[in-house]
């Protein structure tokens, strides 16, 4: 697949720092939030004009009325603008107003018809398009969207990591699933990755560690929702930062990192060593557990498997309570037990098939 990298889009320097409000709400709020984001270090402005919200009673976006506000904000700051498109009509309107970069949102990427319609509307148009990861962790929907766009001639493309809707996201709003993102980067070489810690975290106090982790993965940009009065925002209030907050965040994100004060390099390495050793112990325990599980499968075979299934709800509650006493949060216990249970089913099925 032929992909033009961000630095050759002729729009903004890399890394992209895309900031501005979740939604354009009023003219004043859009102009002020974008001006604040620009002063804090953004090199591309954002504002959602159309908002595909999960609930019908949430703010659904101001619509075309907000377009001139975003365009004006771009002119005032001398920066390119970006917005989300969910339909071919949105593409047409955004292009009419001269929006510089478009993105397809997480709830749109799950719908191949919608992506195909957007791709068709972009045929022959030289505008960069960013594709957010689909809300569900379905790799082929994400890679498929790039292929659909590529088929229509779109070459300036990048991906946005905004986290996935899973039952185990806490403390985040959307689970980051870093391994899936790394796998995407492996499957789609040349597609640069932009981190959206705002939609991953859902709360502003968690943004920095997520943004930093993305940096360690070599991401090529960040999208950070910024609003002059975030607590009063009409959408995503808890995750938006003030322009001042953005400035602080970017300062910390791009600060040179060294060994923490008062520690030697060896002391830090000793902690990594401990973590590696403990992961080794976990592997040993998992292997022992697998042996017991396979042994049990043999009894199931003899007794008739259906008679021998444990009361999963009761044993999960039991684990949640006993692990909880050792400080393991409920979500982690559920996640680990769910994975182990799936692993068990696979192992036991192998034994049952053999006999
Ligand atoms: C957004 O960027 O405001 C947005 C709606 O994002 P997502 O598609 O990630 O939910
Ligand atoms: Mn948002």
Secondary structure element (H or E) that encloses residue 222, with its range: strand 221-225
What total of structural domains would you count in the chain? 2
Tell me the percentage of the chain whose pLDDT exceeds 90. 83
**Which range among 1-15, 134-148, 258-272 shows the weakest confidence by mean pLDDT?**
258-272
Nearest protein Cα to ligand 1, atom 1: 22
pTM of the model: 0.92
160 and 88 fall within a common domain: yes
Taken as a whole, the chain contains a residue count of 355
Please report whether residue 16 resides in a domain: yes
195 and 89 fall within a common domain: yes
How would residue 45 be classed by pLDDT, with cut points 50, 70 and 90?
A: very high
Q: Report the candidate in 9, 102, 93 with the shortest Cα–Cα distance to residue 47.
A: 102
What is the average pLDDT across 90-112? 98
Using DSSP bridges, classify how beta strands 129-132 and 157-161 pair: parallel, antiparallel or unpaired. Answer: parallel
Which ligand lies nearest to the CA atom of residue 161 in the structure?
1
Per-residue tokens: 80? 């390119």
Q: How far is Cα of residue 178 from the mean position of the Cα atoms in its chain?
A: 9
In this structure, are residues 169 and 185 in contact, taking their beta carbons and an 8 Å threshold? no
- Identify the residues whose C-beta falls under 6 Å from ligand 1: 22, 48, 84, 105-107, 132, 162, 199
Please report whether residue 258 resides in a domain: no
Please report whether residue 66 resides in a domain: yes
How would residue 308 be classed by pLDDT, with cut points 50, 70 and 90?
A: low
In this structure, are residues 345 and 312 in contact, taking their beta carbons and an 8 Å threshold? no
Tell me the percentage of the chain whose pLDDT exceeds 70. 97
Interatomic CA distance for residues 238 and 321, integer angstroms = 30
What is the average pLDDT across 203-231? 96
In this structure, are residues 126 and 99 in contact, taking their beta carbons and an 8 Å threshold? no
Interatomic CA distance for residues 139 and 150, integer angstroms = 17
Please report whether residue 1 resides in a domain: no
In this structure, are residues 121 and 88 in contact, taking their beta carbons and an 8 Å threshold? yes
CATH code of the domain in which 290 resides: 1.20.59
Find the domain containing 112 and state its range: 6-253
Q: Tens digit of pLDDT for each residue in 117-175?
A: 999 999 999 999 999 999 999 999 999 999 999 999 999 999 999 999 998 898 999 99
In this structure, are residues 23 and 47 in contact, taking their beta carbons and an 8 Å threshold? yes
Please report whether residue 326 resides in a domain: yes
100 and 179 fall within a common domain: yes
In this structure, are residues 129 and 104 in contact, taking their beta carbons and an 8 Å threshold? yes
308 and 330 fall within a common domain: yes
20 and 153 fall within a common domain: yes
Best residue for ligand 1 mutational test, from 169, 199, 234, 237 (most atoms within 8 Å of Cβ):
199
203 and 312 fall within a common domain: no
Question: From ligand 2's centre to the CA of 224, what distance in Å?
Answer: 9
């Amino acid at each position: 697949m032929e992909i033009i990298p961000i630095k050759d889009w002729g729009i903004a320097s890399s890394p992209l720092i895309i900031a501005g409000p979740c939604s354009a709400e009023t003219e004043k709020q859009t102009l002020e939030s974008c001006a604040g984001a620009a002063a804090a270090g953004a090199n591309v402005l954002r504002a959602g004009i159309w908002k595909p919200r999960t609930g019908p009673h949430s703010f659904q976006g101001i619509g075309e009325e907000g377009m001139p506000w975003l365009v004006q904000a771009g002119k005032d700051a001398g920066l390119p603008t970006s917005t989300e498109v969910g339909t071919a009509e949105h593409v047409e309107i955004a292009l009419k107003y001269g929006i510089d970069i478009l993105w397809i949102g997480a709830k749109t990427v799950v719908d191949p018809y919608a992506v195909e319609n957007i791709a068709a509307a972009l045929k022959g148009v030289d505008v960069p398009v960013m594709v957010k990861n689909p809300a569900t962790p379905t790799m082929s929907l994400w890679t498929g969207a790039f292929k659909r766009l590529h088929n229509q001639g779109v070459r300036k493309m990048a991906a946005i990591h905004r986290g996935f809707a899973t039952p185990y996201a806490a403390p985040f709003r959307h689970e980051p699933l870093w391994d899936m993102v790394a796998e995407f980067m492996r499957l789609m070489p040349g597609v640069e990755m932009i981190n959206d810690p705002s939609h991953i975290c859902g709360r502003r106090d968690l943004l920095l560690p997520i943004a930093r982790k993305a940096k360690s993965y070599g991401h090529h940009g960040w999208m950070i929702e910024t609003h002059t009065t975030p607590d009063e925002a009409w959408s995503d209030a808890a995750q938006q930062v003030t322009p001042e907050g953005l400035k602080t965040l970017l300062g910390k994100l791009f600060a040179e990192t060294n060994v923490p004060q008062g520690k030697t390099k060896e002391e830090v390495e000793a902690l990594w060593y401990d973590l590696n050793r403990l992961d080794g112990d976990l592997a040993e325990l998992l292997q022992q557990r697998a042996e017991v599980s396979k042994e049990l499968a043999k009894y199931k075979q003899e007794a008739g498997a259906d008679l021998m299934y444990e009361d999963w709800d009761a044993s999960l509650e039991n684990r949640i309570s006993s692990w909880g006493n050792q400080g393991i949060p409920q979500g982690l216990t559920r996640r680990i037990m769910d994975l182990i249970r799936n692993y068990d089913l696979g192992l036991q099925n192998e034994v049952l098939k053999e006999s």
